[in-house]
Amino acid sequence: MMSHERQFYINGEWVDPVTPRTMDVINPATEEAFTQISLGSKADVDLAVAAARKAFETFSQTTRAERLDLLKRILAAFQARYEDIANAITLELGAPVTLAHKSQAAIGVGHLTQMISVLETFEFEHMQGTTLIAKEPIGVVGMITPWNWPINQITCKVCPAIAAGCTMVLKPSEIAPLDAIIFAEVMHAAGVPPGVFNLVNGDGPGVGTAMSEHPDIDMISFTGSTRAGILIAKAGADTIKRMHQELGGKSANILLDDVDIEAAVTTGVVDCFQNTGQSCNAPTRMFVPAQFRDVAVGAARRAAESIKVGAPSDPEVYMGPVISQLQYDKIQAMIQAGIDEGATLVTGGTGRPDGLNRGYYVRPTVFADVTPDMRIAREEIFGPVLSILTYETPAQVIALANDTVYGLAAYVQSGNRERAQEISRKMRSGNVYINYPKGDLNAPFGGYKQSGNGREWGQWGLEEFLEIKGVVGYAAG
List the chain domain ranges. 8-247+451-471, 252-440
DSSP three-state, residue 37: strand
The contacts of residue 473 (CB under 8 Å, 6+ apart) are 130, 131
Nearest to 228 by CA among 216, 217, 212: 212
The pLDDT tens digits along the chain (477 residues) read 458 999 999 999 999 999 999 999 999 999 999 999 999 999 999 999 999 999 999 999 999 999 999 999 999 999 999 999 999 999 999 999 999 999 999 999 999 999 999 999 999 999 999 999 999 999 999 999 999 999 999 999 999 999 999 999 999 999 999 999 999 999 999 999 999 999 999 999 999 999 999 999 999 999 999 999 999 999 999 999 999 999 999 999 999 999 999 999 999 999 999 999 999 999 999 999 999 999 999 999 999 999 999 999 999 999 999 999 999 999 999 999 999 999 999 999 999 999 999 999 999 999 999 999 999 999 999 999 999 999 999 999 999 999 999 999 999 999 999 999 999 999 999 999 999 999 999 999 999 999 999 999 999 999 999 999 999 999 998
pLDDT of res. 73: 99
Helix axes 150-164, 178-189, angle to 10 degrees: 30
Domain 8-247+451-471: assigned CATH number = 3.40.605.10
Beta bridge partners of 126: 133
Q: Is 246 a catalytic residue?
A: yes
pLDDT of res. 477: 81
pLDDT of res. 3: 83
> Does the predicted model carry a pTM greater than 0.75?
yes
DSSP state of 126: E
Max intra-chain CA distance, the chain: 78
pLDDT of res. 181: 98
Catalytic residue (choose from 92, 280, 380, 464): 280
Nearest to 254 by CA among 421, 447, 442: 421
Measure the CA–CA gap between 388 and 403, rounded to whole angstroms. Answer: 15
Measure the CA–CA gap between 58 and 53, rounded to whole angstroms. Answer: 10
The contacts of residue 414 (CB under 8 Å, 6+ apart) are 256, 258, 259, 420, 423, 434, 435
Nearest to 410 by CA among 418, 266, 399: 399
pLDDT of res. 1: 42
* Alpha helices (H) in 122-274, listed in sequence order: 150-164, 178-189, 209-213, 226-236, 261-273
| Domain spanning 252-440, CATH class | alpha beta
Q: How many CB atoms lie within 10 A of CB 81?
A: 18
Strand order in the sheet with 242-246: 13-15, 8-10, 197-199, 167-171, 140-144, 219-223, 242-246, 452-453
CA geometry: angle at 75 spanning 151 and 438, to 5°?
60
Catalytic residue (choose from 92, 185, 213, 246): 246
Nearest to 343 by CA among 302, 372, 306, 384: 372
Task: Report CA dihedral (282, 285, 288, 290) to the nearest 10 degrees.
Answer: 170
pLDDT of res. 2: 52
Number of H helices, E strands in the chain: 16, 20
